[in-house]
Each structure stands twice: as structure tokens, then as C-alpha cells.
Amino acid sequence: MIDLLPILMSATTTMQQRMKNWFAAYPAGMPWTIVSDYCLGDEGKKNDVFSFVVIANHDKTENISEYISGVAPRDIKNIRQVPLGLMQYLTSPQPVTFSVSFVINRDSALLRDYLRVEDMASFIPDACELVRALRKNSPASSSVNPSYFDEVLKRLGIFEKDLGRKQMNEKLSRQIHLASGFAATLFYLVTNATGAGYLRWISDRDKLIEHNDTIVYDLAYLYFILMSSSRSGLIRNEQGNFILDLPKTLFELPEKTGQHRFDALIRLPDYLAGTLADIGPDMSYSKEKFREMLHGVFVDSPNNWLVHLTSNGERISARSVQYRS
């Protein structure tokens, strides 16, 4: 999985510059929200999709949620016609959102030929070593609970044991690794494009999020650290360690039952993921609502991007995509 990170960084280089230009009016140090939803494992769809929407701090979260609830009270699977207000928000000429969706053809089975169980398991010892190094070198502060690093090591250990079980859920483990890598890519993009002071990731309630006490959050942050430490020009401290000036990153834990308190925000990536899962390589679609989203949100859009991933079993490739009319 770690080999995928530089591929994602390379594939999103142009996207990062576009995001920087798009959000240029916002000063450095601002808080940013990233919401995500997924369309995975649906045999009736053409693609597996991980969609992320970056929301600028242009209004209070409560007001944004209230607006979305008003214009789009239902998920895309429960509508026949796409609400105009939701499309207008996703395509507003005022820079309030920027979306990135990672699309994998269903035939690739979530890059199964490339991301094998042994590949996923091989990273865990290195991840544990990184966490121990962070625990050793992180200065004591009121914002870092010393027990946090021990908790991460415990979750990584459990995940490693899961990967070694004969009856392990290979598909779910692959979803976790991919979701964490894609989320880390968004953290990296937003940080470098906006100079973010705070990042908040809000995900839909899903097995890949809940598994092993949200191990996906730990992996995402570790991948983010690795991506950030690969930049040139980093300064080292007296001990020779890189100094990473990263934004404070918050992970919202969705309720296990009942309504998700951020359900309205998650409706944004829900519409994106549901649409892109249906769109074929020939731009075909199964229902009119997907045509509305395709042409109303994605085609000729400066702020709604795709990353297509493919694998031939020996190597993986990724490329950024924009639909053109």
C-alpha cells in the first residue's frame, strides 16, 4: 500500500494547483472539513468509488447542514430527480467546495492483484515502528495524550492479527487500506493547497470506518505523515528528525445507530459516489438522475475531479480526470 502513496501524489499534482487557485481567497491557518462516502461492492454498478468533498469554512456547519437538508433531504438512491440546490452548491462559482473521487473499475476488484493480503500486512511492522518513533520524539503537550500512541499500537497489532487469520475479510481490509490512503491524499492536498490550520474528516457510517475501533483513521494519519515527510526542503531539528508543521487533524466518530449527526454533509459525497459508480467508460448511465449529475456537476467543472486507478497485477497506475463536453 505504501507504494501507492507516491503514485497518488504524482496523479494529483495538477489537482493540487487547481485547488490552490480555487481556494486562494482563504487565508492560511483556516479550518477545513472533508466529508466522504463510498459506493463499494455493488454488483449492479460499473465502478467502486471513494468520494471526498472539501468544504471551506464559509459558514457555520449548522447552517451548511440546514441548507443541504432543505434542498436535498434524501440520498441519491431515494430520488428520481437530482435537487437543483445540491448541484448548485457543488458547482458554486464562489469557492465553497472542491471534490475528489477515486474510481476503480469493478473488474479490478479493488486492485486485488496489486494489493494482496501480504502487501497489506507487510506495512504493519513499519507502521508500528513509526508510531514508536513519534511517541519518542513528540514533545509533551496538552493536546497529545501520551496513551494515544499506545492505543494506536494496540489497534495496529489487532489489525495485523486479523490479516493473518484464515477467515479474514480480505475485501474489507482492502477497503480500509484504500480509504485511508485516499483520505491521506486529501489531507496532503488540502494542507499544501490552503495552508490549513485544522482538518476535520467526517465519514459516512460504514464497516470500513468502524472496523477495529476505527483503525482506518490511524492508517490515514500515518500515511499523511509519510506523504508530508517526502517533501523537499524540510528542516531537521537538533536530533536530525524532520520538523513537520502539520495541521491539527480531527476525526469525527459516527454514531453506531440512529441518524448520523452529519448526515446532511455526507449527502454531498453520496451523490458523487452514487453517480460515478454508475457511469461507464463510454459515458453510459442507467438512470436519468445520473445523467443529470454527470452533466450538471462533473462535465467542464473546475472543482469536481476524479482519479482513475487501474492495475495489471504487476503495477498500478492512477491519473486525474475531468469530464469535458
Q: Please tell me the predicted confidence (pLDDT) of residue 11.
A: 96
Query: Which neighbouring-strand residues pair with 52?
Result: 36, 100
Burial profile 63-94: b = 16 or more Cβ within 10 angstroms, e = fewer: ebbeebeebbeeebeebeebbeebbebbbeee
Q: Locate 237 and state its grid cell.
A: 531539528
Cα(160)–Cα(316) distance, integer angstroms: 24
**187 contact partners, CB below 8 Å, separation of at least 6:** 34, 199, 201, 220, 221, 224, 227, 247, 249
Q: What are the backbone angles phi and psi of residue 320, rounded to the nearest 5°? A: -80, 145
Contacts of 297 (CB under 8 A, 6+ apart): 87, 90, 91, 271, 272, 275, 304
**Residue 234 to residue 241: CA distance in whole angstroms:** 10
In a domain, 90, yes or no: yes
Cα torsion 212, 218, 219, 225 to 10°: value is -170
Domain range for residue 73?
4-115+171-321
Structurally, the chain folds into a number of domains equal to 1
**C-alpha dist (Å) from residue 131 to 147, 153, 221, 222:** 12, 7, 11, 8
> What is residue 96's three-state secondary structure?
coil
Note the pLDDT of residue 139.
Answer: 67
Residues 286 and 218: their CA atoms lie apart, in Å, by 37
Class of residue 198 by CB neighbours under 10 A (exposed 0-12, middle 13-18, buried 19+): middle
Examine residue 158 and state whether it is found in any structural domain, yes or no.
no
Q: Can you give the pTM of this predicted structure? A: 0.93
Question: CA-CA distance, 102 to 110, in Å (whole number)?
Answer: 11
CATH at residue 218: 3.30.420
Per-residue pLDDT of the chain (325 residues; tens, 9 = 90+): 678 899 999 999 999 999 999 999 999 999 999 999 999 989 889 999 999 999 999 999 999 999 999 999 999 999 999 999 999 999 999 999 999 999 999 888 778 877 788 888 888 999 999 999 888 877 665 556 778 889 999 999 999 998 888 778 888 888 999 999 999 999 999 999 999 999 999 998 777 887 777 899 999 999 999 999 877 666 666 666 666 778 889 998 766 655 668 999 999 999 999 999 999 988 999 999 999 999 999 999 999 999 999 887 678 889 999 999 8
Three cell numbers written together for 130? 513509526
Would you give the DSSP letter of residue 104?
Answer: E
Using CA of residue 215, residue 218, residue 220, residue 226, what is the dihedral sign? negative
Q: Are residues 308 and 321 in contact, defined by beta-carbon separation less than 8 angstroms?
A: yes
Residue 138 domain flag: no
- How large is the angle between the packed helices 4-11 and 207-229, nearest 10 degrees? 80
Coil, strand, or helix at residue 249?
A: strand
DSSP category for residue 245 = -
Alpha helices in 46-146 (DSSP H): 61-71, 84-90, 117-137
Per-residue pLDDT of 81-113, as tens digits, reads 999 999 999 999 999 999 999 999 988 877 887
Residue 264 counted as domain residue = yes
Helix segments in 195-306, DSSP class H? 207-229, 263-278, 288-293
User: What pLDDT score does 143 carry?
Assistant: 57
Residue reference for cell 524532520? 242
Is residue 97 situated within a structural domain? yes
Going through 143-242 in order, the beta strands assigned E by DSSP cover 198-203
DSSP state, residue 108: G
Helix axes 147-164, 207-229, angle to 10 degrees: 110
Considering the domain boundaries, does residue 66 fall inside one? Answer: yes
Please report whether residue 294 resides in a domain: yes
Q: Is 142 part of any domain?
A: no
Total residue count of the chain as it appears in this document: 325
